[in-house]
C-alpha cells in the first residue's frame, strides 16, 4: 500500500481549517474532530488512489477528491499519495494554484 505525505501548503491549509473552527467558531473539539475526519478522507485516497477526478487545469496530474464542502487535491506518486491542498469549495480555487 502507498504511504501518505502532505505538502507544506496542505499542512498550512489544515491548520487554517482547524483555526477557523477552533478559534473563530470557538469550537476546538469540533476542530480536532474535523481534522481527524479529513485525515480519514486522505486514507481513502491511499486505499483507492484513482477515486479522485483529474483536475489538470489546476496542475499537472493533480486529482480532486470531494469531502463534504472541502476539496482535497492530491498527486499519485511512485511511493505515496501526496496531499497538495485542502480547500473549501467556496474558495476561488483556480487562483490558489500557481500557473
Q: Quick: pLDDT tens for 73-90.
A: 999 999 999 999 999 999
Ordered by where they begin, the domains of the chain are 3-89 (3.30.2310.20)
Confidence label for 99 from pLDDT (cuts 50, 70 and 90): low
Nearest-angstrom CA–CA distance, 7 and 76: 13
Nearest-angstrom CA–CA distance, 75 and 18: 23
Nearest-angstrom CA–CA distance, 31 and 14: 10
Q: What pairs with residue 6 in β-bridges?
A: 83
pTM over 0.85: yes
Amino acid at each position: 500500500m502507498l504511504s501518505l505525505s502532505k505538502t507544506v501548503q496542505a499542512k498550512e491549509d489544515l491548520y487554517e481549517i482547524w483555526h477557523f473552527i477552533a478559534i473563530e467558531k470557538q469550537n476546538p473539539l469540533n476542530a480536532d474532530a474535523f481534522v481527524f475526519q479529513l485525515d480519514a478522507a486522505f486514507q481513502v485516497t491511499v486505499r483507492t488512489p484513482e477515486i479522485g477526478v483529474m483536475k489538470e487545469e489546476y496542475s499537472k496530474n493533480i486529482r480532486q477528491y470531494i469531502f463534504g464542502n472541502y476539496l482535497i487535491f492530491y498527486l499519485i506518486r511512485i511511493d505515496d499519495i501526496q496531499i497538495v491542498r485542502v480547500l473549501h469549495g467556496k474558495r476561488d480555487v483556480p487562483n490558489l494554484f500557481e500557473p
